Structure 1
Amino acid sequence: MGVTRERAIERLAGRHPGRRGFGGSADPAEAAAFRHAMRGDHDLNPGVTPPSTALTPAAVLVPLIDHRYGMSVLLTQRTAHLTAHAGQISFPGGRVEDADPDDVAAALRETEEEVGLPRDRVSVIGRLDTYITGTGFEIAPIVGIVDPPVPISIDPFEVAEAFEVPLSFILDRRNHQRIEREVGAHNRAYFVLPYEGRNIWGATAGILVNLAEVLAD
């Protein structure tokens, strides 16, 4: 199952990268539509509602590497000593700072800081659905195309490694495993994409599942 550069641009068209799903529009109908499109930890858990308190804006880059033999997605593994999400697999990205003009700028800045990918090497083509985490983050997933070779220089404090996953693997829904585990007094379901000895789960897996839905035939 292959997706070309043109197909990705076509499928992401109209998904404006500057829009944020939670209160990002003054138009009530548009704001309601974006709230309906919010994804999150609650997707597979009908009894769980998104946090009602103020959310922390964050942005990640979903980098599509346009290899001659097919596209791949660049991911990172966080270092084990970090206080939050240590050792987890994630997209490059982080909090939206006051100095960032918008979500795109935040995602590109964080990507450059974490993996050394210059922002002028990324062609932003759109965004996926806003993802709300149970820890109170409102994540804007910004999708961009990068032509190889990809210059990578990781920040060793935050990033243990950067690696690529074939887009064909992500598009194959047989790789979207639904797992349940006990959290407190409740069972919680979440997506896991096992790839070459790594378990991609949590918000990263949820965003990849959304990417597969958007790019699906």
Structure 2
Amino acid sequence: MLDLSKYIVHDLTHTLSDKIAGFSEKSACTMSVEGWNAKTLTIYSHAGTHMDAPFHFEVNEITIDQIRPDQLMGRAWVLDVPVTKPSQLIHLEDVEKQVVSVEIGDSLLFRTNWSSNYEQANYKTELPRLSKELSEWCVEKQIKMIGVEPLSVADVGNLAEVTEIHQLLLGGGITIIEGVAGLDKIIAPVVYLIALPLKIGHGDGAPARVIALEEKA
């Protein structure tokens, strides 16, 4: 049995609200009328903190509901990547000293502090993104999951780039988690990552609740 008292539990998930694109809500029932409170939600499949399925870019027919829970948890390394300019490319050399102990099947969380721009215009337009070289290394290393703070691993304004990087990673068996938050609260270089998306039938992706277990010193 997992003893959670030995861990700091970090919530790496943004709160879905009307402040972000792709999410809206309206009252469906109220305590005073129906006897309970309930809302009708409209959610874009890649709103907020979310996960991509291979079908998102049609690298294969695997949809979000077909990804087993055991594929969505495991050891993850928190990599520090200082962002010094808009639309910065993250190269392997930027993290190579931090990945020397990474093993096949591990996951990676890229800490850029970009989540601080979550409600700003540049969150989408100037996001730091993964280079092709780094993406290829992740595939060769058989990384299980990649988590990034921006809403995408690639420039969403560049269809060729966003398609190439997503197809490379998803086609290489890597699960992509985008819109991660709260990495700044983690101190240890390694955590146990759990990322569980909504189980949407035939889904190309889904909002996810993402947590990290950091072992207490």
Calculate the TM-score normalised by the size of structure 1.
0.24
1 or 2, which has the higher strand percentage? 1
Calculate the TM-score normalised by the size of structure 2.
0.24
